[in-house]
Amino acid sequence: MTQLSVRAPRAEGVTLCLFDGDAETRLPMARTGDEWVADAPPPGTRYGLRAHGEWAPERGLWFDPAKLLVDPRAVELDRPFTYSPALSAYGVDTAPLVPRAVMPGALPEVPLRPAHFKHGGLIYEVNVRGLTMLHPDVPQEQRGTVAALAHPAVLAHLEKLHVSAVELMPITAWIDERHLPPLGLANAWGYNPVVPMALDPRLCPGGVAELRETVAALHKRGIGVILDLVFNHTGESDILGPVLGFRGLDNAAYAHAPDGTLINDTGCGNTLDFANPAMRALTIATLRHFVQHCGVDGFRFDLATVMARGPGFATDAPIFAEIAADPWLADRIMIAEPWDIGPGGYQLGRFPPHWLEWNDRYRDDVRRFWRGDAGVGLLATRIAGSSDLFGKDCRSVNYLAAHDGFTLADTLAYEHRHNHANGEDNRDGHGENFSWNNGAEGPTDDPEVQARRAAFARAMLGTLFVSTGTIMLTAGDEFGRSQQGNNNAYAQDNAVTWVDWENRDRALEDHVAALAAWRAARDFAQFPDDGAWLALDGAPMDAARWEHPATSGFSWHAKSEAARSTGLKIDRAAPQAGPGVDEP
């Protein structure tokens, strides 16, 4: 008989709760050190946990047997999480509110193969629900799900763009932040998870099998799959948040200050503690699960600085060595969002040598150049791989826009955020986006404004596709997706974040596809040494030209076929950028 175990070192008792419909059977679990164990119920059984002990939140004790808790190692849930104030109230039975974990059977193991991805490729960032909710070719019942990514129409679009890998925004089970339901809003991004392995039933109703089959379908087209995972906080939030899992079993999973208060290096009220070996072990188990049983090729880590805190950031944090030593994980693609909001939280360029890193300096400096307030020297540094940040080993993930912030189209159409629909009086989201509206705020029929926006969009996309390092395109930016000026659309599970396929800019889409085809035939992992930087008049670039504020552009020419068989040209005065100076 296999056993079910759960970590709850400070609990006085833990009960395994088995459900047949709403009928609940409670079985005591036995202590074994810091773990509590019981015979595992048969596969398919729905179950939860209840923990017994003292309720003293001010001392980090949240034991309340009235709270049904989700197993932190659950791999399937029978329903999504739904927020209710009762989840935080002592003595209120939450069994009617909390999902039950589903006991898995033996999960098939996917053979370990090299990752479907190469450095220098194109990552396509995908909000699974947003990408397909309005897709006219995807069947209604499949829209908004992981399975929709394997639809022939979606696959054809990915192939048209020569996508190397899709990066799926969180698809594990999340709960709405408590301020959203009273506003009639819902979390649209998923960056508020509860348990790390369980797929959200709204996005992946077929569970592990659905993800595995979708990954296999993408692999057949040569497209890798990267999961965006959140290991920096959970949806249990601050001291007023719900009691759903870790908090009710082992609150030491969260980092605490010496006075016992929760550390908030995430802006979400709590921070997972990666100085705790148990937290790291669960993280490794989660990553292995998605590789072993689903075949994924890599992971992007939200606010990844948290993973190397203990409490301060360390470049030799244990989690890095543990990932590198695991045979299932050592060759996977690892991507850091290299910052959090805690002390010393900005760590761009300081992750391990084999990790890629989101480069927000690239985004900002490219925007600033085309807006007119950054020089050509800084732009050339970014195009050539940001050696000032990464040295000769280019680990940059270059991007113009991501899920948070303005879309590319909105960067050129709005100077100010327009987040009133989020219910926070337009206070949320970044205040400085290095955006410019080209003469009108928001939509306009003015043909001159439209022409300027179109030219800058092509110039910025051209810049991206000639840049050294891995590049990332957020779904829809290839054809002018807008969020109506909302630069923090996490709470807009509606047409604001759903990609509008019917009204997309097909000419821009075709332009991006041509850039992607050109790039796919070349190696952009490292910038070639064999080349010459020239001014727009053909003269060699020198320090004076690089530093002069009136210098509007430059070109780069390969000196040999071995370099890249091409060149590039940038001209801010007549917005254009991209390959072509050595092309037929």
What domains, with CATH codes, occur in the chain?
1-358 (3.20.20.80), 531-579 (no CATH)
Catalytic residues: 302, 337
pLDDT confidence band for 581 (50 / 70 / 90): very low
pLDDT for 199: 98
- Of residues 45 and 527, more confidence is placed in 45
For the cut 60, the answer to whether the pLDDT of residue 563 exceeds it is no
pLDDT confidence band for 561 (50 / 70 / 90): low
| For range 225-234, the mean pLDDT | 98
For the cut 60, the answer to whether the pLDDT of residue 37 exceeds it is yes
By percentage, how much of the chain surpasses pLDDT 90?
93
Pure H helices in 221-271: 246-249
pLDDT for 557: 87
What average pLDDT does the chain have?
95
Could you identify the residue written with the tokens 């995430």?
266
**Distance between CA 555 and CA 384 in Å, rounded?**
12
For the cut 80, the answer to whether the pLDDT of residue 145 exceeds it is yes
Could you identify the residue written with the tokens 């041509």?
514
pLDDT confidence band for 579 (50 / 70 / 90): confident
Could you identify the residue written with the tokens 């209710």?
84
**Distance between CA 502 and CA 476 in Å, rounded?**
12
DSSP 174: B
pLDDT confidence band for 374 (50 / 70 / 90): confident
Task: Write out pLDDT tens, residues 421-449.
Answer: 999 999 999 999 999 999 999 999 999 99
399, β-bridge pairs: 472
**Distance between CA 340 and CA 343 in Å, rounded?**
8
Instruction: Give 209's contacts (C-beta < 8 A, 6+ positions apart).
Output: none
For the cut 50, the answer to whether the pLDDT of residue 517 exceeds it is yes
| For range 457-477, the mean pLDDT | 97
pLDDT for 584: 25
| For range 161-170, the mean pLDDT | 98
pLDDT for 245: 98
pLDDT for 583: 39
**Distance between CA 371 and CA 363 in Å, rounded?**
12
E-assigned strand segments in 391-548: 396-399, 470-474, 531-534
| For range 504-531, the mean pLDDT | 94
- Tell me the C-alpha to C-alpha distance, in Å, between residue 246 and each of 60, 104, 327: 11, 20, 28
Task: Write out pLDDT tens, residues 285-336.
Answer: 999 999 999 999 999 999 999 999 999 999 999 999 999 999 999 999 999 9
